Structure 1
Amino acid sequence: MRALGGALPPFTAGAHIDVHLPTGLSRSYSLLNAPEERHRYVIGVAREPDSRGGSRYLHESVLPGERLVISAPRNLFALDEAAAHSVLIAGGIGVTPMLSMAKRLDRLGKSWQLHYCCRTRSMAAFLDDIAAHGDRVDLRVDDEHAGFLDIAALIRSTADAHFYCCGPKPMLAAFNSAVAATGLPPARAHVEYFQPVDDGPPPGGFLIELARSGRVLTVPPGKSILETVQAAGIAATSSCEAGICGECQVTVLGGTPDHRDLVLSDAERAANTAMMICCSGAKSEKLVLDL
């Protein structure tokens, strides 16, 4: 809820907000409530055992009634409201954006189906909300089902549908493989990542020129552009630091980036006019950035 009252900025199904914690961390979380609700934003945060500080802080330190600083909503996983049918595929906490999509599709009177996969019922998120949708939901619990969801068969059996997938890395890899195997047009395949695909060290070993000041910095091996500019005392916004939220995007004025994010489309990557400085590097010896 807004501290000063009044309506919150509008959002669309699939959107997320950045939560800025007092520790200095910023993390992105999908909104799971109906977009028509302007009095509140609802998020779901899984408590991760290997948390980098975000989920741990929200679970252990935030008390009811405490105020947090957040960003306005942004959407990198937008719902195509004109689709005749929508298939939502989620794993674990990846169901959160799907809940907002389901509410929106219901509001529009659209056809949709949710396939929700989880290891055990005790680990499933928002089961009561999900169960309220009745037979539109296919709940697949690992210890109750033999085998995994056959995404390729699902795509082949559902003509002209749009498919949305959010979940852990193996599920997203299976989804992308199924899309390639079935020839599903890219415009009808939508993916949102909440974990980085590449866990390797940042690609360093090149120069960056900061166009606004003319400064030239060396990005050392094992360091990101984001870390380098922040160490030099230059303000640069960031959130996930994994190339999945888009918060650290900057304009590229020269050079060729080595794109390692999960935000930009293939066309945007080919244009080489923008990059995520938290994870991407350089194919050229120097990049010129609008910083």
Structure 2
Amino acid sequence: MTMKAVSSGDHFEISTSIVVFRPDRMLLARTLTSLVVASAALNRARKEGAVHLYLIDNGGLPDMSESLSELSRARIGHTLLDGHGNVGYGRGHNLAIAQPLGRYHLILNPDIDMDPDALVRAVEFMSTHPEAGLLTPAVFDDAGQLQYLCRQYPSLIDLFVRGFLPASMRHLFARRLARYEMRAQINGRDTLWDPLIVSGCFMLFRSDVLKRLSGFDPRYFLYFEDYDLSLRAHDVARVAYVPSVRVLHHGGGASRKGVAHIRMFVVSAFKFFNRFGWKWL
């Protein structure tokens, strides 16, 4: 795969960055195909609707030549950033954020399928709400159930119950989890302004806001970098949960990914609470 240089003179409506480390090739291919379809809809709706992808390889990227050819046929520019090693999730995205960006920049996970009209609806919302600096969509799981990925400020108990307690025991903490996951406020119909924390699986920023924030805090290797960035985003712009923008998320929690991920989760949680304040109960 070759790297296509991007100059500051290039113009596109949306830039997007996807960080991968030993990704599932089929899931990544699905994500890129959904990007092609959503970009085509944006191009039809807006003459300036060009999209550019930054694919950041932290290691182990399989042969994606077929998917990248699909991007080229759809006139989606793409730049492969590699050779830097596994620098972590946030620092990987920061490599892209340092490049020329579109009017909007989309932080996207490699296990997300966008609805065909997701980018059209997202750009329409941002265009008509200039106070919005960060948009988060309605996220659904493989069974079609809404995922409650907007968050209140977490306590240690919230994190333990949500991330590590067996599902058979979570009903004992149902009211606590409902508060933490904002279940009374989040649904598939109503826009909600200023949820405190939103998921990093799909974060659409105004690029000037993202640049002002200097992207992700590089001190997080994995986990909590989106919590950190969400909280800082409120200092410079408004955040909006927009359920007319819909995506499918195939991801899983840290506890389902093994001991190494649990260790990274704990280390990042410690850094997060040290910065923003500890909340035990």
Q: TM-score under structure 2 normalisation? A: 0.31
Higher gyration radius (CA): 1
Higher relative contact order (CA closer than 8 Å, sequence separation 6+):
2
